Structure 1
Amino acid sequence: MIETTSSMMNKLSQSIEDSPAPIYARVKQAICLKINSGEWQANQRVPSESEMVKALGVSRMTVNRALRELTDEGILIRQQGVGTFVAKKKTHSALSEIHNIADEIAKRGNQHRAELIEIIRTNASMEEAINLSVRTNHTIFRATIVHFENELPIQIEERVVNATLAPDYDKQDFQQNETYDYLMKVAPMTEGEHLVEAVMPSAYECKLLQIEANEPCLQIKRRTWCDDQLVTTARLLSPSSRFQLFGHFGGK
């Protein structure tokens, strides 16, 4: 049975948190919760801007920004003259297969070392809550790790982990990179998505990576699911001179 727009809006309104965060961010978070809980299915039409403005009692600018950002992030698809729809989740391809970086380095005949910069058990910020599709009081782990190949820093890993799905994440041996094996054991990945782009690192990131300020980096933003639950989000930053992506497609 197809849910009516009125019912969808009533439930969406009830999902919006009462917090000091900007209203557009709270609307955005509520929509993400509906999608990732499975209440709003892939290819399902979502209420229009006008319907959201009327039902939620917010400005058109607020709704427009929430929908625009969700579209830019690939969570929604907006078709001119037709409507806005829930996008299909992206599964990882050969180019974006997720491996243990320690194993990748070992396969090249080199030595891996990981240095834990920081790990915090805390409540999710609004941005983190949106990315993990949880509420802002949800417990997460926030970790920063630097990976080395033959004592040369090759990647900064900034990871946010859903503590409900991986409660002992902070107890793992980060020096041995056992975190990957632990996450695959407690919440094995069934889906994943990547956003890859070239960026300029901050001064602090240049220091961690031991590179000059004018060297561009390759940034990978990644989210992984276990069934219908988001397990982690990660930002991986590597100097362009020390890292590359490779994929092979087709063939027999």
Structure 2
Amino acid sequence: MENTPKFAQIKQHIIDNIRAGVWHENQQVPSENELANQFKVSRMTARRALTELTDSGILTRSQGLGTFVASFKSQSSLLEIKSIAEEVRQRNSHYSCTVLSLESIAALAPIAIALGVEIDSQVYRSVLLHNENDTPLQVEERFVNPALAADYLQQNFSELTPHEYLSNVAPLTEARHTVEAIMPSEEVCQWLNLFNEEPCLQVIRRTWSSSGIVSFARLVSPGSKYRLGGHLTFKRPI
């Protein structure tokens, strides 16, 4: 252990605390200064440990808020992001959208952390119901950083999707996904016309542009009507 570089010791310390349940999902971890003091190293060494754990998906960092334990659910950055309207039309089906909510709200802590903004600052929220051939296909709840999409609330989302609009005003450079099966809430069941309890597919997605975090979205679809797929291409070994 004595021969192990200090930044690696800090990384192992953080990983051990997460595995032991000392720090839970979305819980804030010690700052660079606190780790530097604890391990008697420079802030640069502590920063390297936090940065490497963030790059590997173990931690997530929000500017001005701190560093947090990332979601334990498996993530994929290999899913192609398409507009749901495009997906429906590619099946030669009719796409339509029902706007359930479009508003400005004060960001609670989880939303502020996800968007990298101050707690209680104003963010935009939309709830949309995407339909295929007039049948509900997906509920989309999205929180948007106003600094990167100032006119979000003025858009007509029956004519273009939030994804299409945001891709124009803040072109995406990065996205992270969490995918899981859930049992929908009573409200979501009403929106999706689910009369019997049915597992749904939930995708949690954060998107970035070159200027910062653009949006944080929750997409819920009936398991019987929606699936995820993709195509991976692997490089041949040299």
TM-score (norm 1): 0.66
Tell me which residue corresponds to 2:219: 236
Counterpart among 175, 190, 207 of residue 190 in structure 2: 207
Aligned to 1:103: 86
SS of equivalent residue, structure 1 residue 241:
coil
Q: How many pairs align? A: 187
Q: Secondary structure at the match of 2:172?
A: coil
Aligned residue in 1 for 2:133: 150
Aligned to 2:69: 70
Specify the SS of the correspondent of 2:96.
Answer: strand
Q: 1:207 to 1:110 in 2, by over 3 A?
A: same
**Structure 2 unaligned spans of 5+:** 1-6, 8-23, 32-42, 51-65
1:92 lines up with 2:77 in the alignment? yes
Report whether the alignment pairs 1:183 with 2:166: yes
Q: Which amino acid aligns with 2:165?
A: Y
Structure 1's 198 and 45: CA in aligned 2 closer, same or farther, altered over 3 A? same
Secondary structure of 1:146's counterpart equals: strand
Aligned to 2:34: none
- How far does residue 182 in structure 1 lie from its aligned partner after superposition? 1.9
Q: Is the 8 A contact 1:144 1:157 kept in 2?
A: yes
Q: Distance in 1 between matches of 2:223 and 2:76?
A: 25
More off after superposition, 129-138 vs 165-174: 129-138
Q: 1:42 and 1:146 mapped to 2: Cα distance?
A: 45
Q: CA deviation at 1:43?
A: 8.0
Q: CA deviation at 1:29?
A: 9.5
Match of 2:28 in 1: 28
Aligned partner of 2:106 in structure 1 is 123
Residue pair 2:176, 2:206 contacting (<8 A) in 1 also: yes
1:11-26 equivalences under 5 Å are none
| Alpha-carbon shift at residue 137 of structure 1 (Å) | 3.5
**What's the secondary structure of 1:44's corresponding residue?**
helix
1:44 aligns with 2:48: yes
Q: What is the percentage of aligned positions where both structures have the same residue?
A: 35
Q: 1:145 to 1:197 in 2, by over 3 A?
A: same
Give the distance between the partners of 1:223 and 1:28, measured in 2 at CA.
19
Deviations 1:7-38 (A, max 9, x none): xxxxxxxxxxxxxxxxx99983996xxxxxxx
CA contact (8 A) 1:157 1:234 kept: yes
**TM-score, scaled relative to structure 2:** 0.69
Q: Per-residue CA shift, 1:121-172, capped at 9, x if unaligned?
A: 1221111101111111332101110000001100000000001100100111
Q: Which runs of 5+ in 1 are unaligned?
A: 6-23, 32-38, 47-65, 75-89
Contact kept in structure 2, 1:203 and 1:213, CA below 8 Å: no
Question: Cα RMSD over matched residues?
Answer: 3.3
The partner residue of 1:216 within 185, 196, 199 is 199
Distance 1:234 1:41 in 2: 34
Does the 8 Å CA contact 2:127/2:141 hold for their aligned counterparts?
yes
Structure 2 residue identity aligned to 1:123? A
Q: Alpha carbons of 1:40 and 1:132: their partners in 2 closer, same or farther (altered >3 Å)? A: farther
Structure 1 consecutive aligned stretches of length 4 or more whose deviation exceeds 4 Å:
24-27, 39-43
Query: In the alignment, residue 125 of structure 2 is paired with which amino acid?
Result: R
- Alpha-carbon distance in structure 2 between the residues aligned to 1:129 and 1:25: 16
Q: Distance in 1 between matches of 2:234 and 2:185?
A: 41
